[in-house]
Structure 1
Amino acid sequence: MDYPANGSSQTPKSLASDMVSATRPMHTKINKLITSRLPLAVPPKAPDSGPYACGLLYILPIYMTFEQLWLDILDTPPGDAPGQISERVHTILKEIHLPQLFRSDRLRADIKFITGWTDDILDLQINSVKGTGELSVFISHIQQAVRAKPHVLIAYSYNLFMALFAGGRFIRATLEKAGAEFWQIVPETIKPTMQSCEVDSFIDSSLEQIEEDNLMPLRFWAFDSENDGEDLKQEYKSKLLQWESELSAEEREDILQESVYILESIGLLVGQLDAVCSAVQDEETPVVQIPMRPSLAGLVGGTQFGARLRDSLLIARERGIGNPFRGKPQDAVEKEKGTSHGDGTTSTEPACSGVPKSMRFAKSLPIPPRKHRAAKDGGSGFDLHTTSQRRDASGTLIGPALVGVFGLFFLYVVYSRVGGVIV
């Protein structure tokens, strides 16, 4: 039995298999992100196809960018400026190029069918969104990466074309279930620019081919072939397998890394779409006034309550009590510490004479700082120290003083409620 020279009987993995393995964690995450948001584009949550058109507006610039770069490379002879692409890589990209897989024209047709926009209006909308957020970063990266390493176009073609045959079939079936009547409803505006749709040009003469799809603008997910693209998928994979041996190990690694970046960028793009939709929704949602409980300042500032508080303080002064909220004189404090006798001495007997002298009261346990945990529904976590732990500028604990003041205030409120008078 003959064995390979390196002593291994394993067959090397194909480039396609390596891309699948490298992107598997992100691929699972992206599937969950997209499928969880798909119901937002169809009834009953979507009144029309506006949300779907908004999503297509953010996908179209991605396909337009890498597909146009691919065509520019094929139109440029190997080695000529500004491409500086080797004849070997030029040949690989030429051989795996299948025009039927390109999606830009179909995406434009779907958006125009939904909105009734002309090409000029659509171009303005594309330019508006592709310069924002994560989409802008992604577009700039595609341009720089492909110009520096043209072979990474293989990563874009595999991940963005082949995905239409896997999860794309499920998405297409979900959208078709909405029915032709749903797709014929003309939205008023399209996010994020809130550009109005053109009802009069709802069905343009240039979109006659969509009639074959039962008037549903889902050409992005369909292919012009006998087997609805399955034959194109097999042809692409066969050509890639045939020519991938011409790639160097470094070029293969570049393609794998770019595949991971593509899926990560799509995940960030979903987040950008979430932010766009939620921001517009917040603007359209009316502000609801929440009833507020009466505040302490409001109670003190009340006419009736403030008058009663002032009267109580005046009565206290007339009877020689002074301001009950002020601190006591030093001699009064000394008297509270012990009982004064006629000979000038002061005893320190405890207030409760029945308590044995051997008994000792335990010191108050220190109050640990408390920390609120972040609420599951979006509340932010923060440290909240009790009032008794705060200090003033001199370093003295101000908690007990505040507790005393609010305690007196609380007693006053309770006592005044039952008709009492502070004396």
Structure 2
Amino acid sequence: MSPGHAHVKMPNDDLPVDGPSRLSADINRATRDVHNVLNHLIMTRLPLGLLQPTLYREGVLSIFYIFRTFESAWQSHLSNPDLDPRLRQILTRTYIPAMQRTRAILADVAYYYSLPLDLAEKTYLPLSHQPSLPTRQSIVNHIEKVTREKPHVLLSYGHVMYMALFAGGRILKLRILDNDIFFPGTPKDKETRQRMGVNMFSFEGRRTKEEEEEIRIAWKAGMGDAENLLTKEEWNDCCEEGAQVFRLMESMIYELDTIKAPVAYAVIAKYAVGALLAILMAYALIFKYLPILIAQF
């Protein structure tokens, strides 16, 4: 570490070593309110998404663009021979190949859009391919700009996006695997289904929760090493951008509301009509047999 970038003692320096890194804890604290808002938005929309894969896949595609953009920026910085050595150490210590999600999520995109994987890769992987929806595009633009100007904030994107895979992601994965609507004509075999529509939450070569946990632990260790190389200003940048990540996700959800609305209404109507018919049939049976029941008493 160069003398000009000596580590400044931060508020969470006394956290236990087996807990979150100091920077992770500060990002969590800085994002608590926006995190709660995002959780509410997700939980109020998820039930509908689980009723109709065509709704869910739009969310998967939006998430794909986020991961593709910040992971590509990460790799671009690491391949740049002119990158500041200190920043290179920060990004190298937190770069975990097994954690990379771009291609895994693209496999889900291919499945839900019924595309051959090679066609999906040719279409979506090149950075020249840009989203057609305005909010998706503005999110991509923001991530490209901020990570170009402040490479250290990639730690914020990694912390927020990767750690979500080990929290709510595990629960969502199980709910999708058990949902036959997502896998028409496919046996209820988790290994088969896992290779089809939940690659986002699956890590190649890791079959157990304990093996997946090794990746999370490696990330936490990398964050613990990298944070010691940050200046105080960079530390604050990471906390501020962490909150911005949640705001970007919030805007993404509101955009999904606009494109999902027609399909959502159709799904709601389908189930509402079904429920109404069931109620009418119940009433018909009651009125048909009620006189007989009364006569018996």
Give the match for residue 205 of structure 1.
none
Q: Tell me the CA shift for residue 284 of structure 1.
A: 11
Asked if 1:185 is matched to 2:188, the reply is no
Give the letter aligned to residue 113 of structure 1.
Y
Give the match for residue 97 of structure 1.
95
Alpha-carbon distance between aligned partners in 1 of 2:160 and 2:199, rounded to the nearest angstrom: 19
Task: Count matched residues.
Answer: 246
User: Could you say if the C-alpha distance between residues 175 and 114 of structure 1 is closer, same or farther in structure 2, counting changes exceeding 3 Å?
Assistant: same
User: Could you say if the C-alpha distance between residues 89 and 128 of structure 1 is closer, same or farther in structure 2, counting changes exceeding 3 Å?
Assistant: closer
Asked if 1:275 is matched to 2:283, the reply is no
Give the match for residue 137 of structure 2.
136
Aligned pairs for 1:20-419 (under 5 A) are 20-42=28-50, 45-46=51-52, 49-77=53-81, 79=82, 85-118=83-116, 119-120=118-119, 124=123, 130-179=131-180, 182-185=181-184, 212-213=192-193, 216-224=196-204, 225=206, 227-279=210-262
Structure 1 residues 387-406: Cα deviation after superposition (integer angstroms, max 9, x where no partner) = xxxxxxxxxxxxxxxxxxxx
Give the letter aligned to residue 160 of structure 1.
M
Q: Tell me the CA shift for residue 26 of structure 1.
A: 0.9
Alpha-carbon distance between aligned partners in 2 of 1:106 and 1:270, rounded to the nearest angstrom: 21
User: Could you say if the C-alpha distance between residues 154 and 184 of structure 1 is closer, same or farther in structure 2, counting changes exceeding 3 Å?
Assistant: same
Q: Tell me the CA shift for residue 133 of structure 1.
A: 2.3
Structure 1 residues 327-355: Cα deviation after superposition (integer angstroms, max 9, x where no partner) = xxxxxxxxxxxxxxxxxxxxxxxxxxxxx
Q: Tell me the CA shift for residue 185 of structure 1.
A: 2.8
User: Could you say if the C-alpha distance between residues 25 and 9 of structure 1 is closer, same or farther in structure 2, counting changes exceeding 3 Å?
Assistant: closer
User: Could you say if the C-alpha distance between residues 10 and 276 of structure 1 is closer, same or farther in structure 2, counting changes exceeding 3 Å?
Assistant: closer
Kept in 2, the 8 Å contact 1:31–1:167? The answer is no
User: Could you say if the C-alpha distance between residues 152 and 285 of structure 1 is closer, same or farther in structure 2, counting changes exceeding 3 Å?
Assistant: closer
For residue 203 of structure 2, give the secondary structure of its aligned residue in structure 1: coil
Name which of structure 1's ranges 141-150 and 126-135 shifts more when overlaid on structure 2. 126-135
Alpha-carbon distance between aligned partners in 1 of 2:129 and 2:264, rounded to the nearest angstrom: 19
Give the letter aligned to residue 235 of structure 1.
A
User: Could you say if the C-alpha distance between residues 178 and 129 of structure 1 is closer, same or farther in structure 2, counting changes exceeding 3 Å?
Assistant: farther
Alpha-carbon distance between aligned partners in 2 of 1:268 and 1:212, rounded to the nearest angstrom: 34
Kept in 2, the 8 Å contact 1:113–1:217? The answer is yes
Alpha-carbon distance between aligned partners in 2 of 1:253 and 1:165, rounded to the nearest angstrom: 25
Q: Highest CA radius of gyration, 1 or 2? A: 1
Alpha-carbon distance between aligned partners in 1 of 2:218 and 2:158, rounded to the nearest angstrom: 13
Identity of aligned residues (%): 26
Give the match for residue 368 of structure 1.
none
Alpha-carbon distance between aligned partners in 1 of 2:214 and 2:248, rounded to the nearest angstrom: 29
Kept in 2, the 8 Å contact 1:58–1:129? The answer is no
* Runs of 4+ with deviation above 2 angstroms: 8-13, 113-116, 118-129, 182-186, 210-216, 224-228, 279-286
Give the letter aligned to residue 220 of structure 2.
K
Alpha-carbon distance between aligned partners in 1 of 2:218 and 2:30, rounded to the nearest angstrom: 23
Alpha-carbon distance between aligned partners in 1 of 2:106 and 2:211, rounded to the nearest angstrom: 20
Give the match for residue 193 of structure 1.
none
Asked if 1:17 is matched to 2:25, the reply is yes
Kept in 1, the 8 Å contact 2:110–2:120? The answer is no
Given the two structures, how large is their TM-score scaled by the length of structure 1? 0.53
Gaps of at least 5 residues in structure 2 are 1-8, 16-20, 270-297
Alpha-carbon distance between aligned partners in 2 of 1:60 and 1:159, rounded to the nearest angstrom: 15
User: Could you say if the C-alpha distance between residues 276 and 125 of structure 1 is closer, same or farther in structure 2, counting changes exceeding 3 Å?
Assistant: farther
Q: Tell me the CA shift for residue 114 of structure 1.
A: 2.8
Q: Tell me the CA shift for residue 160 of structure 1.
A: 0.4
Q: Tell me the CA shift for residue 228 of structure 1.
A: 4.5
Give the match for residue 396 of structure 1.
none
Kept in 2, the 8 Å contact 1:22–1:260? The answer is yes
User: Could you say if the C-alpha distance between residues 23 and 285 of structure 1 is closer, same or farther in structure 2, counting changes exceeding 3 Å?
Assistant: closer
Alpha-carbon distance between aligned partners in 2 of 1:146 and 1:99, rounded to the nearest angstrom: 19
Greater helix share, 1 or 2? Answer: 2
Give the match for residue 274 of structure 2.
none
Q: Tell me the CA shift for residue 53 of structure 1.
A: 1.6
Kept in 1, the 8 Å contact 2:183–2:193? The answer is no
Alpha-carbon distance between aligned partners in 2 of 1:153 and 1:215, rounded to the nearest angstrom: 28
Larger relative contact order (CA 8 Å, sep ≥ 6): 2
Give the letter aligned to residue 142 of structure 1.
I
Given the two structures, how large is their TM-score scaled by the length of structure 2? 0.74
Alpha-carbon distance between aligned partners in 2 of 1:72 and 1:96, rounded to the nearest angstrom: 14
Kept in 2, the 8 Å contact 1:184–1:215? The answer is no
Structure 1 residues 230-262: Cα deviation after superposition (integer angstroms, max 9, x where no partner) = 111111111211221110000001111110111
Kept in 2, the 8 Å contact 1:156–1:259? The answer is yes
Alpha-carbon distance between aligned partners in 2 of 1:87 and 1:155, rounded to the nearest angstrom: 20
Gaps of at least 5 residues in structure 1 are 1-5, 80-84, 187-201, 203-209, 287-423
Alpha-carbon distance between aligned partners in 2 of 1:285 and 1:241, rounded to the nearest angstrom: 47
* Cα RMSD for the two superposed structures: 3.1
